Amino acid sequence: MLFLTGLLGLLLMNSCRSNQGSEEKAVRAIVPVTVTGTRTGTMTEYAEFPATSSFLEKAVIKSPITGYVEKCFVSAGDRATKNELLFELRTKEATVLYQDSVHALGITGLIQVRASIEGLVTVINHPKGDFIQEGEPLCTLVLPQSLVFILELPYELKDYIRLGNECVLLLPDDEKLSASIHAVLPAMTGSSQTIRVILEPRRTMPLPENLMAKVKIIRSLKNHVLILPKSSVLSDEVMKNFWVMKLVNDTMAVKVAVKTGIAGADSIEVISPAFSASDRFLSSGNYGLGDTAIIRIIK
């Protein structure tokens, strides 16, 4: 009996030593890492919304008479100059008399319709031969220089808008177009309850109407803030708790909880604690480390 008790004790001691050895090996596991430091700079937070292109200045050319389209001198897409002849119309009375071979009076009843502005023809409403009523649209002209983007902004976000502020338009082909906030229309859209904001591009481009773009508007801007690379800041699954692995020396890093602010594409603002310029942080190899880690800096 005594022999069995001693043997059991020896087995327990060996087991404890084995566990302690494995724990020591786990603690002493050396992780290869790269390190980085902080920098001070400006962080900008953007809000992104959809915007649609539209021509502010349009001229709808209407028929001054009731009659027929005798001739059409332009097509959709043509550029028309001011006072250029667009249509030739014949009154319905003149059409009847013109076709009367017995009582021909030599009345043509032709009316010329000219462009009121210089612009692009976007729509031809009535081609040659159509019967038209007085006041019906014949075609539409637009000024290419009047192209703007209309932003539909939720009313609760109106404080983001400042007249004259710069913004960036991202077109569907990923081209960026600088614009400024030109005006806010004094009306709400009935269905979506949004305000309409006019964004004026800085340069004229041959863009079509109803083109969908994304606009980035400055939501907040902070100067002289502490900035770390995004790869140095870790978080939990719900993105509520954030921390960094700060170097104690060249071989050890410890976990430090941080409060973050504005996040950019590859950097993030650190609000607290107040780190110094000499502090170093892990920028790679930091994922999954415990509160304390033995590290090896690689270059």
Tell me: the pLDDT tens digits for 225-255? 999 999 999 999 888 899 999 999 999 999 9
Distances in whole angstroms, Cα of residue 106 to Cα of each of 70, 88, 94, 111, 129: 17, 17, 9, 15, 21
- pLDDT above 70: residue 83: yes
Same-domain check for residues 81 and 197: no
Query: Is 13 within the bounds of a domain?
Result: no
- pLDDT above 70: residue 34: yes
Q: Where are the beta strands (DSSP E) in 125-241?
A: 131-132, 137-142, 147-154, 166-170, 176-188, 194-201, 212-229, 234-235
- Which of residues 110, 142, 174 is at a domain's end? 142
Look up the domain containing 189 and give its range.
Answer: 46-55+145-220
Query: How high is the pLDDT of residue 93?
Result: 76
Host H or E run for residue 232: none
Same-domain check for residues 138 and 64: yes
Query: How high is the pLDDT of residue 172?
Result: 93
Q: What does the pLDDT look like over 171-191, one tens digit per residue?
A: 999 999 999 999 998 888 877
- Which of residues 127, 142, 157 is at a domain's end? 142
| Chain centre distance of CA 71 | 46
Same-domain check for residues 96 and 51: no
Helices (H), ranges, the chain: 2-27, 92-98
- pLDDT above 60: residue 19: no
Query: Is 4 within the bounds of a domain?
Result: no
Query: Is 36 within the bounds of a domain?
Result: yes
Same-domain check for residues 126 and 259: no
All residues at 6 or more sequence positions from 14 whose CB lies less than 8 Å from its CB, including other chains = none
Query: Is 6 within the bounds of a domain?
Result: no
Query: How high is the pLDDT of residue 259?
Result: 95
Query: How high is the pLDDT of residue 25?
Result: 45
**φ, ψ for residue 230, nearest 5 deg:** -60, -30
Residue 67 in contact with residue 92, Cβ under 8 Å? yes
Query: Is 108 within the bounds of a domain?
Result: yes
Among positive and negative, which fits the CA dihedral 11, 12, 17, 19? Answer: positive
- Residue of 284 and 25 predicted with greater confidence: 284
- Which of residues 197, 220, 243 is at a domain's end? 220
Pairing of strands 252-263, 110-114: unpaired
Same-domain check for residues 155 and 213: yes
Same-domain check for residues 152 and 39: no
Tokens, residue 80: 């028309």
**φ, ψ for residue 164, nearest 5 deg:** 90, -15
Query: Is 99 within the bounds of a domain?
Result: yes
- Residue of 219 and 226 predicted with greater confidence: 226
Instruction: Give residue 53's pLDDT band: very low, low, confident or very high (50, 70, 90).
Output: very high
CATH number of the domain at 258, please: 2.40.420.20
- Residue of 292 and 19 predicted with greater confidence: 292
CATH number of the domain at 172, please: 2.40.30.170
The mean pLDDT of the chain is 85
Same-domain check for residues 64 and 185: no
The arithmetic mean of pLDDT across residues 107-132, rounded, is 89
Query: Is 16 within the bounds of a domain?
Result: no
Residue 138 in contact with residue 126, Cβ under 8 Å? yes
Same-domain check for residues 214 and 232: no
Same-domain check for residues 50 and 189: yes
CATH number of the domain at 62, please: 2.40.50.100
Same-domain check for residues 114 and 237: no
Q: Quickly list DSSP for 171-200.
A: -TTS-EEEEEEEEEEEEE-TTT-EEEEEEE
What is this structure's pTM? Answer: 0.62
Query: Is 183 within the bounds of a domain?
Result: yes
The share of the chain scoring above pLDDT 70, in percent, equals 86
Q: How many domains does the chain have?
A: 3
Same-domain check for residues 121 and 98: yes
Tokens, residue 195: 């305000």
Host H or E run for residue 45: strand 39-55
Tokens, residue 199: 């964004």
- pLDDT above 90: residue 269: yes
Same-domain check for residues 120 and 149: no
